[in-house]
């Protein structure tokens, strides 16, 4: 077995222990091998991605020739069996012939052997490797380095916390020290270590850890630790006697998100948090988002940073009473949230646009803030002023009860992005108590104003109206005007993701659009998450998909959509508990957004457990009585429970067909099981009439869904069997599809589910 060491140092040894020097002297081929073994040997990699990473400047023919030559050298050096290919498009390293320390580390983490994982991490991934003309590989390497370090440190912190809870302070200290060794800039980890020393009665150890950290900050960043770290050390230093050993430390653990009131607290000068120090090194990225206004905010904040403040942005209210301005409100609040999120001192959350949110804010805004763990509520209104539009901002400090109103701030339809930047900068200035000056210029990247307007119109169609087809057209128009508009490309990828359920070519289009978005902005977590779905559904590579979703979560850990997609893929794989766990994380991040609850309820239905699904669907409709997925799921659940008349009553309550339509008339008189299925069959026949004649649907399994929904079960199953046998991508969703409920329990259908019904690697 060949051993490839990548952490802390680079080493490549044959089975007999001799070092393979020839490959170590070829940095580009060594880098190719390192990429192919990630995240684990055996992972399949697409040739097109490899070409883009290592030979981006060559034409397709020359790039493929270079890849073939490099793979030939790897085979010659390591043995023919090491490199595997799958068709003309995929390459992997045979895990039976080569092992890596990164793979062993990730296996240990996955199996809960955290102490072993901490031991495997000996330093940064592939230190000192700089292959020529491979900027794409360098970007990948930086991302991988950060992800591996974060994964190990996070697991180590959790391990230390668990051991501390169990009263095993000596072992907790070992784990905490290791976490600080791995990431010495993580100030929360340093505070946990100091607190553990104190809890163990080792005041000297606690103060030594503090002084070591303070010395590091002074030498490398010319800064002091955060106020809470200084206060912790001072409390320990001023204690007259050593504290008694106790089982738990009161030091906040990593991931704690205290709600800090706005307008009431300011930090002492010269105490930037660790996150602020890191972000200060990449101030350019902040300038891209906030423009010249944010330069002043950022510089002032970097000099006298306030404590991290958690803001909850309510959906922007369109108070102009013109429906044509709905998309402006949607786009502006999205832009403001993204701009504020670039400031490390702020934690920003956006509440969904539901009746429950509006009612809770009106009745008791403090409940809404507590639900989201936020200290300050931000309410914005889009209003008319003079001949144009303006934004008014209301701030509510929950702990202090303070209220503050800003604006109105004029917004130009010809420069919506600039307007959103200015609103964000004004809001940041008020919350951070820093003076703001607006320069009106966006340095670095600039998006064509009309392209930006079309982009936020597309986002409104996609996120608020849920019309993916209309969103797609708007994103395409935005891209035509400005091909460098990464948000338009990312939005187009998401729209194609929704349309892939009715367009077999949607995944190819999604992949192309997400690739363009990442070529412009490699940190776009949404684009990475969309690509993960393609990797799982089309390529049948769930392992690679989960790795991509973890990367998206690392880039944007507070984005619940990435956990929603993880839940989707786990559900497709029949991993019901894992799916619900991911969906519950999404719900905790955004507790009033119905879609996360609705997907959890659907997972119970997929598992054939409508009793558990029923109360969750009822909660969905409490949050938003108009939620279509919520009421259709409730109707389906009641029918699965045999409560046919209750199902029909809910169907009537939410029916959208014109009252004089045949379906509406049949629904009005339907009774019992036979009445329920009669109406369902009418709906199925209506869809079949619209869809059947279309080009490309003859052999599609989706046509089989319509046959079954129309009551033609044998014909539908025949189409499904034929399509699944031909490898159509979506047939692992069979246990969840509502159109197939009538076929459940039939031997022919259950055999189809057993053979094709879950997502498994090819």
| CATH number of the structural domain spanning residue 307 | 3.40.50
Alpha-carbon distance of 556 to 692, in angstroms, equals 42
**Total domain count, the chain:** 4
What average pLDDT does range 443-464 have in this prediction? Answer: 71
Do 731 and 617 have their domain in common? no
Does 381 map to a domain? Answer: yes
Alpha-carbon distance of 38 to 166, in angstroms, equals 35
- The pLDDT, as a whole number, for residue 272 is 35
Does 130 map to a domain? Answer: yes
What average pLDDT does range 413-439 have in this prediction? Answer: 69
Do 632 and 505 have their domain in common? yes
Summary mean pLDDT of the chain: 78
Do 570 and 509 have their domain in common? yes
More confident site: 754 or 35: 35
Whole-Å CA distances, 348 to 280, 308, 314: 19, 10, 11
Region of poorest pLDDT, from 9-18, 399-408, 418-427, 443-452:
443-452
pLDDT reading at 469 higher than 90: no
pLDDT reading at 264 higher than 80: no
Angle at 750 between CA 744 and CA 751, to 5 degrees: 155
Does 651 map to a domain? Answer: yes
Tokens for 687, please give them.
């869809």
Domain final residue pick, 146, 168, 190: 146
Q: Which of 532, 525, 494, 529 is nearest to 510 (CA)?
A: 494
pLDDT reading at 306 higher than 50: no
- The pLDDT, as a whole number, for residue 307 is 40
Do 643 and 681 have their domain in common? no
- The pLDDT, as a whole number, for residue 94 is 94
- Range of the structural domain that residue 31 is part of: 2-146
Do 690 and 641 have their domain in common? no
Does 152 map to a domain? Answer: no
What average pLDDT does range 581-588 have in this prediction? Answer: 85
Do 302 and 428 have their domain in common? yes
- The pLDDT, as a whole number, for residue 268 is 31
Alpha helices in 373-505 (DSSP H): 416-432, 449-459, 468-481, 486-499
- Phi, psi angle pair for 301, to nearest 5°: -65, -40
Does 458 map to a domain? Answer: no
Domain final residue pick, 633, 659, 685: 659
Do 697 and 614 have their domain in common? no
Alpha-carbon distance of 505 to 516, in angstroms, equals 17
Instruction: Report the percentage of the chain scoring pLDDT > 90.
Output: 22
Do 509 and 651 have their domain in common? yes
3-state class (DSSP) for residue 341? helix
- Phi, psi angle pair for 678, to nearest 5°: -60, -45
Q: What is the pLDDT of residues 704-749, one digit of tens each?
A: 888 888 999 888 888 888 877 665 555 667 888 888 888 888 888 8
Does 637 map to a domain? Answer: yes
Do 413 and 499 have their domain in common? no
Does 690 map to a domain? Answer: yes
Whole-angstrom Cα Rg for the chain: 28
Do 728 and 618 have their domain in common? no
CATH number, domain with residue 597:
1.25.40.10
Alpha-carbon distance of 146 to 156, in angstroms, equals 15
pLDDT reading at 229 higher than 70: yes
What average pLDDT does range 623-628 have in this prediction? Answer: 82
- Beta-bridge partners for 7: 125
pLDDT reading at 98 higher than 80: yes
Does 165 map to a domain? Answer: no
N- to C-terminal Cα separation, the chain? 25
Helix (H) or strand (E) holding 128: none
- Beta-bridge partners for 99: 3
Domain final residue pick, 364, 399, 432: 432
Alpha-carbon distance of 160 to 114, in angstroms, equals 10
Do 569 and 701 have their domain in common? no
> Who contacts 113 (Cβ-Cβ below 8 Å, separation ≥6)?
none
Region of poorest pLDDT, from 55-59, 175-179, 539-543, 629-633:
539-543
Whole-Å CA distances, 579 to 544, 568, 586: 17, 7, 11
Do 136 and 104 have their domain in common? yes
């Amino acid at each position: 077995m060949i051993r490839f060491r990548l952490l802390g140092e680079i080493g490549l040894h044959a089975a007999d222990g001799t070092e393979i020097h020839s490959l170590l002297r070829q940095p580009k081929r060594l880098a190719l091998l390192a990429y192919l073994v990630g995240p684990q040997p055996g992972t399949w990699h697409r040739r097109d991605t490899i070409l883009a990473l290592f030979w981006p400047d060559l034409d397709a023919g020359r790039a493929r020739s270079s890849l073939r030559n490099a793979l030939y050298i790897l085979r010659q050096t390591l043995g023919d069996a090491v490199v595997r290919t799958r068709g003309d498009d995929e390459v992997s390293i045979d895990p039976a012939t080569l092992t890596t320390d990164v793979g062993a580390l990730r296996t240990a983490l996955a199996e809960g052997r955290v102490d072993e994982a901490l031991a495997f991490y000996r330093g940064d991934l592939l230190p000192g490797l700089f292959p020529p003309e491979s900027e794409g590989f360098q970007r990948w390497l930086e991302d991988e380095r950060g992800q591996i370090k974060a994964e190990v440190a996070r697991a180590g912190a959790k391990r230390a916390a668990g051991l501390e809870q169990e009263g095993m302070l000596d072992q907790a200290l070992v784990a905490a020290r290791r976490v600080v060794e791995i990431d010495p800039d993580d100030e929360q980890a340093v505070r946990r270590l100091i607190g553990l020393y104190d809890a163990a009665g080792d005041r000297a150890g606690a103060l030594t850890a503090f002084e070591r950290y303070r010395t590091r900050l002074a030498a490398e960043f010319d800064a002091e630790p955060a106020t809470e770290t200084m206060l912790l050390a001072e409390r320990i230093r001023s204690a007259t006697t050593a504290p008694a050993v106790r089982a738990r430390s009161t030091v906040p653990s990593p991931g704690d998100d205290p709600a800090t009131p706005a307008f009431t607290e300011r930090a002492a000068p010269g105490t930037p948090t660790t996150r602020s120090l890191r972000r200060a090194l990449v101030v350019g990225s902040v300038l891209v988002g906030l423009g010249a206004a944010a330069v002043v905010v950022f510089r002032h904040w970097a000099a006298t940073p306030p404590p991290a403040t958690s803001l909850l942005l309510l959906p922007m209210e369109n108070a102009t009473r013109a429906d044509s301005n709905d998309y402006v409100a949607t786009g502006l609040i999205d832009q403001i949230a993204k701009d504020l999120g670039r400031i490390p001192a702020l934690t920003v959350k956006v509440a969904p646009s539901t009746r429950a949110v509006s009612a809770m804010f009106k009745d008791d805004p403090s409940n809404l803030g507590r639900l989201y763990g936020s200290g300050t509520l931000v309410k914005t209104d889009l209003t008319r002023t003079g001949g144009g539009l303006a934004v008014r901002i209301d701030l509510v400090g929950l702990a202090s009860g303070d209220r503050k109103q800003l604006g109105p701030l004029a917004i130009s339809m010809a420069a919506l992005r600039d307007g959103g930047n200015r609103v964000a900068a004004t809001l940041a200035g008020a919350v951070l108590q820093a003076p703001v000056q607006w320069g009106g210029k966006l340095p670095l990247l600039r998006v064509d104003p009309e392209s930006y307007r079309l982009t936020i119109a597309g986002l409104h169609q996609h996120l608020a109206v849920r019309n993916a087809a209309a969103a797609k057209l708007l994103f395409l128009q935005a891209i035509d005007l400005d091909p460098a508009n990464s948000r338009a490309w990312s939005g187009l990828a998401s729209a194609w993701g929704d349309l892939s359920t009715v367009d077999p070519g949607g995944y190819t289009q999604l992949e192309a659009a997400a690739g363009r978005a990442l070529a412009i902005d490699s940190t776009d977590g949404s684009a990475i998450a969309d690509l993960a779905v393609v990797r799982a559904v089309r390529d049948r590579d769930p392992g690679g998909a989960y790795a991509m979703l973890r990367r998206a979560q690392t880039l944007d850990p507070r984005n619940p959509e990435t956990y929603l997609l993880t839940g989707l893929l786990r559900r497709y794989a029949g991993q019901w508990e894992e799916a619900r766990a991911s969906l519950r994380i999404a719900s905790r991040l955004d507790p009033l957004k119905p879609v996360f609850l609705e997907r959890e309820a659907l997972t119970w239905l997929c598992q054939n457990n409508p009793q558990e699904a029923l109360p969750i669907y009822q909660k969905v409709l409490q949050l938003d009585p108009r939620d279509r997925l919520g009421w259709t799921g409730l109707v389906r659940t009641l029918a699965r429970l045999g409560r046919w008349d209750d199902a029909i009553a809910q169907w009537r309550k939410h029916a959208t067909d014109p009252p004089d339509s045949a379906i509406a008339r049949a629904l009005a008189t339907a009774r019992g099981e036979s009445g329920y299925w009669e109406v369902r069959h009418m709906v199925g026949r209506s869809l079949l009439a619209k869809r059947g004649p279309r080009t490309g649907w003859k052999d599609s399994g989706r046509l089989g869904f319509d046959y079954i929904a129309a009551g033609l079960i044998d014909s539908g199953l025949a189409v499904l069997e034929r399509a699944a046998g031909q490898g159509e991508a979506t047939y692992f969703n069979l246990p969840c599809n509502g159109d197939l409920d009538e076929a459940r329990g039939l031997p022919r259908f259950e055999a189809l589910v057993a053979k094709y019904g879950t997502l498994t690697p090819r």
